C-alpha cells in the first residue's frame, strides 16, 4: 500500500524563510551624491534598505503575519502522542509539498510556452522520468499515513486535489484510472484539504512549522 501511495504522489507532481544567524551588520550609503538618508543595511545573509534616523541606521523590511494559537488541552496521553506524531509527519512532508507545488507551477508555466501538444507531451514524459528518478527513493521512506498527509498538503499548497493535478497534466482517463486503483485500498485522490474542518489541527501545525515555532 505504501508503494501505491508513493507512486501516485510522484505522478501527482505532473522552506522557511532564511534566518539571519550572523550578528554582524554594516550600512553603506547608496546615494552619496544626494546626501540623503537612504542606505543599504547588510544584516548577513540578508540585505535591506535602510534610513538614517537621528544618527541610527534603521532597516526597512516587510514582516509576515504571525499567528498565535492558544495552548491545546489534551484529553488523554493518547491524544498528546497523536499530536506529537502529527508534528513529526508534517515537518517531514510539508517541505516535499512545497517543492511539489513549485514544480507544478514551473511545469505548467513552461508548458504554456510550448507550440503544440506533441512538444508538451514530450516535456511531460521527460519530467515524469526526472520525478520518478528523483522522488521515488524519497517517497519510499514515507509511511502510508505520511503519504496520505502529503497528498493533502499538496492540495494545501496548490489548492488542487491530486485527482485534479493528474487530470490537468495527464488527462481525465488517467486520473480516473488512478483514482479507481487507489479506491481499492480505501483511498481517494479527490480528497480535499479542509483547514477549517477535519484538517484544522494539521493546519495549526503547518502554520507553527512555517513560523519556526515547532
- Rounded to whole angstroms, the Cα distance separating 214 from 71 reads 13
Q: Provide, rounded to the nearest whole percent, the portion of the chain with pLDDT above 90.
A: 19
- Rounded to whole angstroms, the Cα distance separating 178 from 14 reads 13
Cell 505522478 appears where? 11
Displacement of CA 110 from its chain's centroid (Å): 20
Q: Which whole-number Å values give the CA distances from 44 to 58, 62, 148, in the listed order?
A: 15, 17, 39
pLDDT in tens, 54-98: 777 777 777 777 788 888 889 999 999 999 999 999 999 999 989
- Rounded to whole angstroms, the Cα distance separating 96 from 90 reads 10
Query: How does residue 137 score in pLDDT terms, banded at 50, 70 and 90?
Result: confident
Instruction: Decide which of 50 and 46 is more confident.
Output: 50
Contact 182, 125 (CB under 8 A): no
Contact 150, 96 (CB under 8 A): yes
Q: Which whole-number Å values give the CA distances from 82 to 9, 19, 72, 103, 196, in the listed order?
A: 24, 30, 13, 31, 19
Cell 508534528 appears where? 87
Contact 16, 29 (CB under 8 A): no
Query: How does residue 163 score in pLDDT terms, banded at 50, 70 and 90?
Result: confident
* Residue 83: burial class (beta carbons within 10 Å; 0-12, 13-18, 19+): middle
Instruction: Decide which of 57 and 123 is more confident.
Output: 123
Helices 144-158 and 2-12 cross at an angle (nearest 10°) of 20
Residue 26, pLDDT score = 40
- Rounded to whole angstroms, the Cα distance separating 203 from 168 reads 26
The backbone torsions φ and ψ at residue 12, rounded to the nearest 5 degrees and listed phi first, read -65, -15
Q: Which of 59, 53, 142, 61 is nearest to 95 (CA)?
A: 142
Q: What would the grid cell of residue 181 be?
A: 486503483
Instruction: Decide which of 174 and 132 is more confident.
Output: 132
Amino acid at each position: 500500500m505504501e508503494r501505491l501511495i508513493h507512486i501516485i504522489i510522484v505522478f501527482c507532481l505532473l522552506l522557511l524563510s532564511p534566518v539571519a544567524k550572523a550578528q554582524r551588520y554594516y550600512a553603506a550609503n547608496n546615494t552619496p551624491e544626494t546626501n540623503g538618508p537612504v542606505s543599504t543595511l547588510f544584516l548577513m545573509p540578508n540585505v535591506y534598505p535602510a534610513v538614517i534616523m537621528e544618527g541610527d541606521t534603521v532597516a526597512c523590511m516587510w514582516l509576515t503575519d504571525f499567528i498565535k494559537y492558544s495552548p491545546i488541552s489534551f484529553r488523554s496521553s493518547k491524544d498528546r502522542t497523536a499530536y506529537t506524531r502529527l508534528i513529526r509527519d508534517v515537518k517531514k512532508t510539508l517541505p516535499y509539498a512545497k517543492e511539489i507545488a513549485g514544480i507544478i507551477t514551473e511545469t505548467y508555466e513552461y508548458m504554456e510556452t510550448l507550440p503544440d501538444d506533441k512538444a508538451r507531451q514530450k516535456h511531460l514524459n521527460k519530467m515524469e522520468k526526472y520525478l520518478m528518478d528523483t522522488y521515488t527513493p524519497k517517497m519510499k521512506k514515507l509511511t502510508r499515513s505520511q503519504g496520505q498527509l502529503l497528498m493533502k498538503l499538496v492540495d494545501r499548497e496548490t489548492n488542487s486535489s491530486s485527482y485534479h493535478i493528474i487530470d490537468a497534466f495527464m488527462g481525465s482517463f488517467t486520473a480516473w484510472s488512478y483514482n479507481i486503483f487507489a479506491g481499492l485500498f480505501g483511498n481517494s485522490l479527490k480528497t480535499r484539504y479542509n483547514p477549517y474542518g477535519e484538517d484544522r489541527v494539521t493546519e495549526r501545525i503547518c502554520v507553527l512549522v512555517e513560523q519556526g515555532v515547532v
